């Protein structure tokens, strides 16, 4: 039986996985998304302490 990591690797190598990787890269380059992520991380970090 394939392990979870093997299944994830196989997905990432598939055409659909590569498509999703490119979509995530495009979203990561968007300044608005970066600001949202930074804001969320700052809030998450402040709650942990």
| Mean pLDDT of the region 17-24 | 97
Helix 31-48 and helix 15-29, axial crossing angle in degrees, nearest 10: 90
Question: Whole-model pTM above 0.85?
Answer: no
pLDDT at 49 over 80: no
Which residues touch 33 (CB under 8 Å, ≥6 apart)? Answer: 27
- How far apart (Å, rounded) are the C-alpha atoms in residues 24 and 17? 11
Query: Average model confidence (pLDDT) for the chain?
Result: 93
Q: What is the DSSP letter of 14?
A: S
**What confidence score (pLDDT) does residue 2 get?**
79
**What confidence score (pLDDT) does residue 47 get?**
86
| Mean pLDDT of the region 16-31 | 96
pLDDT at 32 over 80: yes
């Amino acid at each position: 039986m394939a392990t979870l990591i093997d299944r994830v690797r196989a997905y990432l190598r598939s055409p659909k996985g590569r498509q999703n990787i490119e979509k995530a890269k495009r979203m990561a380059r968007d300044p608005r998304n970066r600001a949202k992520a930074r804001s969320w991380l700052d809030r998450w970090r402040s709650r942990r302490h």
